[in-house]
Amino acid sequence: MTMRKRTLTCLLFLLFVGCISTPPKGQSNIEATPDSEMPQERHQNLPKDFHGDSLSSLIDKLEHIEESSKDEFKKTSERNAEIAALRVTPYRFVISPGENTIWDENYNKISGERYDADAEVMKVNLWVNNNSFFNTSPSLHITPTYTTILVEDYISEGKSYIGQNTYGAKAEVSSTLRRCYGLAIANVKQQPNTALFSLSFPIEPSVAKVMKGEMAFYVDVELTSSEYLIGNIQKAGAVRKATIASPVEIHILEKYVLVNVKEVGWYSKSSGEVLSWKKFK
């Protein structure tokens, strides 16, 4: 083990026994996109128990602006003030590594934080995907595709009803609505199921066990500067129809905010200590 790796392991151990140490430099994960070296200076801590901004609330505000653009009784100055307030505000969203997942070729779920007990190595990856969305401009005859990160995922149960197929067989069908809110990244293009941010380091199993569930990603973004913020919400949807064998109807509604990512990092939720981070242009 190199001195640098020993140092990172010691820093993590001290952090989880209650001592605050200088954040380590980033290290690349051999299975994911390598990150550049992190700055030497200490990163500013996040507030303790920081939960981040609400993406669903931001989407509500953007949708309000889109609706108000059709309101002939609203003054332009009022609308421009609302737009300016949203555009100049930086946003920081928090993503749990356990909820940031991808699927491998064997349909095994891989989370953003995995421990390799044989190698005694922790692997941290903020996974991204690619999503295509409805055409938001009548003048364009294309479906935009962006690198995306899912931030909030809500599932609600709807009313049940009796369904019947063409052969007369009946079943009670339950209806489910899944609402997915995420970030559509305009300034980064990556392949699906790759890492926007990655880190791997050796760590003792006992310390790694404490770490699981204690850490989280943060993502700093700014809204893209589209005129009047119209079209900043990218939308998609799908329906899984119920069958007699599987009488569950699933409606999926996706809303992704078009942003430029500025910084991504990995931090302790309880202390706010930022252990590693990466900046973007």
Residues whose CB falls within 8 Å of the CB of residue 115, separated by 6 or more in sequence, listed in order: 121, 122, 123, 203, 205, 208, 209, 212
Mean pLDDT within 27-56: 64
Nearest-angstrom CA–CA distance, 4 and 167? 68
Which amino acid would we find at residue 157?
Answer: E
Q: Are 230 and 154 in contact (CB under 8 A)?
A: no
Residue 33: pLDDT band (50, 70, 90) is very low
Place of tokens 């052969």: 167
Residue 140: pLDDT band (50, 70, 90) is low
Place of tokens 């989280």: 216
For residue 37, the model assigns a pLDDT of 41
Mean pLDDT of the chain: 81
**For residue 121, which of 3, 9, 268 has the smallest C-alpha distance?**
9
Mean pLDDT within 274-279: 93
For residue 71, the model assigns a pLDDT of 81
- Give the global pTM: 0.79
The CA–CA distances, whole Å, from 203 to 9, 88, 206, 215, 267 equal 5, 40, 8, 15, 16
